[in-house]
Amino acid sequence: MSTLALRKSAPAAGTTPGTAQGPPPAFGGGTPMRRRIGLVPTVTLLAGAIYCLLPVAWVVIASTKSGKELFSTFTFWPGTGFADNLKDLNAYRDGIYWTWMGNSALYAVLGALLSTAVSAVSGYALAIYRFKGREALFSILLAGVLMPPVILAVPQYLLLAKVNMTDSYVSVFLPQVLSPYGVYLARIYASAAVPPDVVEAGRMDGAGEWRIFTRIALPMMLPGLVTVFLFQFVAVWNNFLLPYIMLSDDEKFPITLGLQTLLEQGANTPALYTLVITGAFLAVIPLIALFLVIQRFWSLDLLSGAVKS
């Protein structure tokens, strides 16, 4: 009798005493409720992607339609007038659209390069050097991040008007050289990517501060500076209010302001609507190309070049 009781109470072979004996869990693990909750972020991201990409899809499709097809066919049905739209856009005022496109490239490239350089130097100094008032200066910088650019547009115009610099190329990209957000990003990235031991080692080897920055710290900060450059390029490329206030000569207009003048004329000449849509589609292509070119820098290891403790 006792032998039979011991056999019934003994655990099965290959199991641990005290563990539950039952079928294995279902494939995928977790309860159905947890799996449903886990789908919420995915659904939210998909909804956000659709919300952002739907206008882009409309612009791409609408740029293929002629003036008659634009108002008579289904919204997301491609048309047959893309080649004619390009021809009309090239012919409009002897190709002034490409002048606007070139102006935008000039403003965006110069403005982004200068802003990235200023952000790199300022962010590195705030991250590495210890001086009186550093935290107060950084707090003021954070306040500048929260300041809407619209508030600064009119004061910037009044300042540049006093030195006769309005209605010039410099008046568009010069006010955007100092970017508080760019300096903030550069400071945060320099603090994480540039070890103090590397800076001290450079000083012990006799390198000057500028040489340490350009030869040691700058390569370590490159992925973060690429992000600053991209943000500034997009900001200057899409800027409308500052050129609208600063410029009066349409030969100096960027693409945003040029398309707005076309849109205003479209109220009296509906045929220009197709030119505006086609021009908007072409204006997006440089931004996409820039993103595809520089995205490889983001794949770099954030700790590349760091010293081992």
What is the tens place of the pLDDT at every residue in 231-246? 999 999 999 999 999 9
Q: Is the pLDDT of residue 1 over 50?
A: no
What's the pLDDT score for residue 30?
55
Q: Which class for 297: exposed (0-12), middle (13-18), buried (19 or more C-beta within 10 A)?
A: middle
What's the pLDDT score for residue 225?
92
CA–CA separation, 166 vs 161, rounded Å?
6
Rama region for 246: left / alpha / beta (φ>0; ψ in -120 to 50; rest)? alpha
What is the tens place of the pLDDT at every residue in 105-161? 999 999 999 999 999 999 999 999 988 888 888 888 888 888 887 888 889 999 999
How many residues belong to the chain?
309
Q: Which domains does the chain have, with CATH numbers?
A: 84-298 (1.10.3720.10)
CA–CA separation, 123 vs 183, rounded Å?
5
CA–CA separation, 151 vs 143, rounded Å?
13
CA–CA separation, 212 vs 128, rounded Å?
11
Amino acid type, 181: Y
Give mean pLDDT, residues 49-60: 91
Share of the chain above pLDDT 90, in %: 47
Answer yes or no: are the C-beta atoms of 61 and 76 closer than 8 Å. yes
Please tell me whether the overall predicted TM-score, pTM, comes out greater than 0.95 for this model.
Answer: no
CA distances from 6 to 3, 12, 79, 278 (A): 5, 12, 83, 85
Q: Is the pLDDT of residue 305 over 50?
A: no
Q: Is the pLDDT of residue 285 over 70?
A: yes
Average pLDDT, the chain: 83
CA–CA separation, 200 vs 208, rounded Å?
11
3-class secondary structure, 11: coil
